[in-house]
Amino acid sequence: MDVVYSIKPLLAIMVSLVAACLILLTGERSKNLRESWTILASVIKFIIVVSMVPSVLDGNVLEYTIISLAPGLFLQFRVDAFGLLFGILASTLWIATSFYSIGYMRGLKEHAQTRYFFCFAIAISATLGIAFSANLLTLFVFYEMLTLATYPLVAHKETPEAIKGGRKYLTYTLTAGVVILLSMAIIYRLTGTLDFKPGGFVAGSASADMLRFLFVTLVMSFGVKAAIMPLHEWLPTAMVAPTPVSALLHAVAVVKAGVFGVLRVILYVFGPAFLHDTGLWILLAYLVSFTIIVSCFFALAQDNIKRRLAFSTINNLSIVILGAALLSADAIKGGMLHIAFHGFMKITLFFVAGAIYVKTHKQNVSELDGLGRQMPLTMGSFAIGAMGVCGIPPTCGFISKWYLCLGSLAAHEIIFLFVFLASALLDAAFFFPIVYRAFFKKTKEDINPGFNEAPLFMVTPLMATAFFSLVLGIFPNAFVHFIEIAALAVQNIMGG
């Protein structure tokens, strides 16, 4: 890999920080102008991120150093294939979420909209900082920045329930942050660096027991945001947040940042060889397999739509980690692809939940009878998103889950193949009853309620993300070359 000095990573991160300042300056005086800053910044950010794709596919790594703090310790950005994949996801879905947020906040006449859009811009900037971090230190700085920026979003409604959810979120994530900081200090003392390296860099720097301890502390600390059981409870509680925030948490930023951090630790700090030699991979695989299956049963028991979606997210995050833990090329590739593809599918499902609430104020699955006749575009998009999460072709979820299944066979671990297949069946068990209720059960309120969708600013983004869930299932390399980027990342990790 050739290192190319470029200011593009910094510009991609700074554009939404500038937008955040403009949003504050505009305030409530001009809502149209305030929201225009959000949309303009999201489009510019996307263009900058996508402009880095050709260089990375040519085998280059884009690098920009902010400051050197000590020998081997830098606040630095480095855009490699894995980071670029996450950056593309975040920048793409921020455009959709920006439009959707305008429709949602206006539709419900929400309070503190300036604060909402300000924190939203800071959160996406932090997410890009995480994606393009060159080392654990830079990742940690933006990881904590993301935590602080999303707290006001989780507690946005300022009800006792919202304040409680926000405090629980902070308690879990800030405590995990302290443990990450401690582990980073030990690793720097042992190795003299915190720079990510494909295949890992800590092996042989200390005793096996010490490295096992560091692996566990880092994986479980990043695993808080990745909602590995039993560290998951903050996530369903945080569903008290406005639906665009829930979409941000699940598809773009917080939990994806957590699972991204876990994969960085597995593949770029410790490395596949270390996990294989120490047997840590099998312990991690069984832990996340437990999370995958149990979270599905929790989802089956939820009547609240957003809580059901939350437990589905917990399930899919652990699917990504299981792919990395299996250490085979196809499984790692499938896990990386699932980060991106799950984002499109899950944000569609949350967008639908929000559109239903704005239009009907319904929040429970049991209240959705006949809703597909009133909101066919919305519920049709839900059906596409549900198919994708279940891994049904021609959605993009089929592509990532296919690679995960191939990877489990390549690793000669049939038990984990059954975990993937059982998860898909359980996904169908808690998603398709919603589709059935919406389209095939008669409503108790009106025999024929007629066509009556949510505002256009909400329906258009959810239809767009549903559409791309299909397009990427048929042409997975379309637009931004997800397959090629993931393949390049795996090639670098596996050494060829």
**pLDDT tens per residue across span 271-287:** 999 999 999 999 999 99
Supply the pLDDT for residue 431: 94
Supply the pLDDT for residue 449: 60
Angle at the Cα of 444 (from 442 to 450), degrees rounded to 5? 65
Q: Which long-range contacts (CB under 8 A, 24 or more apart) does 482-485 make?
A: 482/85, 482/88, 482/337, 482/340, 482/341, 483/337, 483/399, 484/57, 485/53, 485/56, 485/57, 485/81, 485/84, 485/85, 485/88
Tell me the pLDDT tens digit for each residue of 247-258.
776 667 788 999
Supply the pLDDT for residue 496: 61
Ranges 71-75, 101-105, 260-264, 368-372, most confident: 260-264
Supply the pLDDT for residue 158: 87
Closest listed residue to residue 49, CA positions, set 80, 9, 82, 94: 9
Token pair 């582990």 is found at: 183
Supply the pLDDT for residue 141: 97
Mean pLDDT within 389-393: 95
For the chain, how many residues are written? 496
Question: Between 323 and 166, whose confidence is greater?
Answer: 323
For residue 53, what pLDDT band results from cuts at 50, 70 and 90? Answer: very high
Mean pLDDT within 214-235: 93
- CB neighbour class for 145 (10 Å; exposed up to 12, middle 13-18, buried from 19): middle
Supply the pLDDT for residue 271: 95
Supply the pLDDT for residue 21: 94
Token pair 């932090």 is found at: 126
Mean pLDDT within 398-423: 96
pLDDT value at 386 more than 80: yes
Sign of dihedral through CA atoms 450, 454, 460, 464?
negative
Question: Between 34 and 84, whose confidence is greater?
Answer: 84
Tell me the pLDDT tens digit for each residue of 178-215.
999 999 999 999 999 999 999 999 998 889 999 999 99
Query: What percent of the chain has pLDDT above 70?
Result: 98
Mean pLDDT within 289-312: 94
Supply the pLDDT for residue 451: 79
Supply the pLDDT for residue 103: 85
As for how many domains the chain has, the answer is 1
CA separation for the pair 272, 118 (Å, rounded):
40
Collect all residues with Cβ–Cβ distance below 8 Å to 183 and sequence separation of at least 6.
Answer: 214, 217, 218, 221
Output the DSSP codes for 20-85. HHHHHHHTTS-HHHHHHHHHHHHHHHHHHHHTTHHHHHTTEEEEEEEEEEETTEEEEEEE-HHHHH
Mean pLDDT within 379-396: 95
Supply the pLDDT for residue 39: 93
CA separation for the pair 329, 324 (Å, rounded):
9
For residue 29, what pLDDT band results from cuts at 50, 70 and 90? Answer: confident
Mean pLDDT within 410-432: 95
Question: Between 75 and 28, whose confidence is greater?
Answer: 75
Mean pLDDT, the chain, rounded, equals 92
Sign of dihedral through CA atoms 396, 400, 403, 405?
negative
| DSSP 3-state of 133 | strand
Structural domain span for residue 418: 2-494
CA separation for the pair 300, 215 (Å, rounded):
33
Rg over alpha carbons for the chain, rounded to the nearest Å, is 21
Phi-psi region of 446 (alpha: psi -120 to 50; beta: other; left: phi over 0): beta
